[in-house]
Structure 1
Amino acid sequence: MNVIAKNSRLPLLFLALAASVLALIGVYFLWQWVPNTESSRSEPNAQNASASADTAVAAAGMSNEERKATEALVRAYILENPEIITQAVEILQQRETAKRLTSVKDEIIKPFAGAETGNPKGDVTIIEFTDYSCGFCRASVADVKRLLRDDPRIRLIYRELPILSQGSREAAAWALAAARQGKHQAFHDAMFAAGIPNTQSIRVAATTAGLNLAEAESFAASQQVKDEIESNLAIMQQVGFNGTPTFVIGDQILEGALGYDTLKAAIEKARSRN
């Protein structure tokens, strides 16, 4: 009976040792990527992973020889399947990003008044961080429009994230002014169609969208607009994404011009979790 009980614990032990090895690898890679001020946090995590393995070995009553054999199996598997290292680190990063996203979720789910489209009562909300100087954002416009056309249950919130140029910031301010006049989507489309944002192209887009130019210019310079833009920039830093476009769909963060199919799959994934 003791032999049977001991053997029955071996799979659990193997998993514990494997998890510890992967944790140590993940700690190593993260230590390489994070700032030096964060590196001190990696050492305790590595120690915890090693301690967990020691505890598992003791609980299973393994000899040193058995432990070494198990560790050799884990090592051999990792060397034969090195892609699991990248996969493990990616999953760890996704989990950490999801935690940071949770801390700001209530803030980003509440749009700047008028800066949204689609179904206000939709069962899935897409939050798009965008910059009018961003070519990848421009490339995503058609895909987002198609999603809204094909799926009437989507709510889309735009968050202005001008990170590329002063023209980006001016266009973002005018986009918020357009939202105040109930014409955000019209300005959004016209601004991307107008090309690189500058004083002239912004005016063209505003005219195309039918804005009251005097009111829009005044509001674009307001403290309310400045606060909204700074808030979005702070969210980017806090959550830890790198640029535009960035889509938040449920607990997923997707960066770049990913195409219709990828965005649609993310929507369905979020919907399945509702």
Structure 2
Amino acid sequence: MQRRTFLAGATATLALGLGSAQALAADVSLDDILHDPNAPEGGNQKGDLTIVAFTDYNCPFCKKAAPDLDRAVREDGHIRLVYKDWPILTQASVYGARMALAAQYQGAYERAHHALMAINGRAVSQEDMERAIEAADIDMPRLKADLEARKKDITALLARNMDQADALGLQGTPTYLIGPLLASTLDYDGFREAIAQARSRQTGDAQ
């Protein structure tokens, strides 16, 4: 989904060629993006490759790609997945991101994330999002309490995600940082190909 203009093609990738601590812009480093201590993570925490996923819960392309990304990460077994909630499309997108991040405080971020990504349609309302999260067996009273109690922390994390996306020059969702590669909308085969390319690139850079 576009924010301004976006990469075209289902498997578009480009090499970043950035060092792990190189400043990108606005005092943001690649290490900040890869290792924000408050960013939710999935996959193998000790994996040899990191994928950073910038997504929006009202982005149909994010929703379409989400199961393929999950499958690729699960089947590979050696990928660390970092979630970057980047709600740029609607006000409901912001609400959904806040709820997913609040769910993290009860160890349920991925359940909330998957539930929100599974909602059909483009203009998903706040009410639809609440129903989806509740149906995922997440403690809603606690989530709403955490939304209020952790408001500053959640707001700060979303602001950092925005700064990081801007530092990378991202134009829309979904965008995936796969090792040293930046990719737009991918299907399962596209993720596998990009993962292989990223590992090959990392191996080459290490030699």
Bin the TM-score by the shorter chain: 0.7 to 0.9
Higher relative contact order, chain-length normalized (CA < 8 Å, sep 6+): 2
- 8 Å CA contact 2:18–2:180 kept in 1: the answer is no
Unaligned runs of 5+ in 1: 1-90
- 2:174 is the counterpart of 1:245: yes
Q: Which structure: greater helix fraction?
A: 1
2:155 to 226, 234, 238: 226
- 2:193 is the counterpart of 1:265: yes
TM-score, length-scaled by structure 2 = 0.79
2:141 to 197, 214, 218: 214
Residues 112 and 139 of structure 1: CA distance in aligned 2, closer, same or farther (over 3 Å): farther
- 2:115 is the counterpart of 1:187: no
1:153 to 71, 74, 78: 78
Letter in 1 for 2:125: N
- 8 Å CA contact 1:129–1:244 kept in 2: the answer is yes
Letter in 1 for 2:178: I
CA offsets 1:200-229 (integer angstroms, 9 cap, x no match) = 112112212222212212333411000110
CA offsets 1:7-37 (integer angstroms, 9 cap, x no match) = xxxxxxxxxxxxxxxxxxxxxxxxxxxxxxx
SS in 2 for 1:157: strand
SS in 2 for 1:216: helix
Q: Distance in 2 between matches of 1:100 and 1:242?
A: 22
Q: Please name the residue that 2:97 is paired with.
A: 172
Give me the identity figure in percent: 32
Q: Please name the residue that 1:142 is paired with.
A: 67
1:107 to 28, 32, 38: 32
SS in 1 for 2:117: helix
Q: Let me know the Cα RMSD of the aligned residues.
A: 2.3
- 8 Å CA contact 1:130–1:137 kept in 2: the answer is yes
Deviates further, 111-120 or 222-231: 111-120
Q: Distance in 2 between matches of 1:226 and 1:143?
A: 29
CA offsets 1:165-223 (integer angstroms, 9 cap, x no match) = 00000000011011221111111111122334322112112212222212212333411
Residues 100 and 131 of structure 1: CA distance in aligned 2, closer, same or farther (over 3 Å): farther
- 8 Å CA contact 2:86–2:161 kept in 1: the answer is yes
- 2:92 is the counterpart of 1:163: no
Q: Distance in 1 between matches of 2:106 and 2:81?
A: 18
- 8 Å CA contact 1:129–1:245 kept in 2: the answer is yes
Q: Distance in 2 between matches of 1:100 and 1:114?
A: 21
Q: Which structure: greater strand fraction?
A: 2
Q: Distance in 1 between matches of 2:139 and 2:176?
A: 30
Which structure would you say has the larger Rg? 1
Q: Please name the residue that 2:129 is paired with.
A: 202
Unaligned runs of 5+ in 2: 1-12, 24-28
